[in-house]
Amino acid sequence: MKTLIAGLFVASFAIPGLGCGKSNPGTSSTAPGSSGTSSEDSKNTNFQAGGGAIQNTRKAARRTVALNDMNTLGLAMTQYELDNNKMPTIADTKKLLVGYPNILSLVNDGTIILTGGTDRSGLWAYEVDADTKGGIGLVSGKPNRYNASEIKAFLGR
């Protein structure tokens, strides 16, 4: 019995280390001197096919934060619209965001793109590359995930 338990214990550590035997040393996806986070540098939080489980888990976490930031942006813009009976311009929105420095920095660095639209039911903002890759859009003050054609349709209105 002790031999069986010892054998299972050893096997539980030895088997996971074996792997599948695939090794392509000449096909590294990271360039020399890079940290391997090139897709992390992308500010778009949409699912990336072939990105791997860890990368897509990171993107999912970033997507949750981005949805929350977009929701806060939507609430601030809605409050402005209710107070002033008109949609805020891009300059007005940036003034509103002084109280939300993390969202203002996302707008200033181009992660969130404000449309400056005056239609209450239209697209107010979207994340970078959402018009080409899909991503988060703020429509009628509510954040949601959209594919690229939906974002383009909102932009075309």
In a domain, 22, yes or no: no
Q: What is the pLDDT of residue 45?
A: 61
Q: What is the pLDDT of residue 63?
A: 84
In a domain, 72, yes or no: yes
**How confident is the model over 105-124, as a mean pLDDT?**
93
Q: How many domains does the chain have?
A: 1
- The tens digit of pLDDT for each residue in 32-46 reads 333 344 444 456 566
Whole-angstrom Cα Rg for the chain: 23
Burial category of 8 from C-beta neighbours within 10 Å (exposed 0-12, middle 13-18, buried 19 and up):
exposed
Give the structural domain span for 52: 44-156
In a domain, 36, yes or no: no
Cβ 37 vs Cβ 30: under 8 Å = no
Between 130 and 17, residue with greater pLDDT: 130
In a domain, 48, yes or no: yes
CA distance 108 to 89: 15
Q: What is the pLDDT of residue 38?
A: 42
Q: What is the pLDDT of residue 28?
A: 38
Q: Out of 17-31, 46-60, 126-140, pick the least confident.
A: 17-31
Strands 135-139 and 112-114: unpaired
Per the listing, tokens 């429509």 go with 139
pTM: 0.66
In a domain, 7, yes or no: no
In a domain, 69, yes or no: yes
Confidence of residue 31 (pLDDT cuts 50, 70, 90): very low
In a domain, 18, yes or no: no
**How confident is the model over 52-59, as a mean pLDDT?**
76
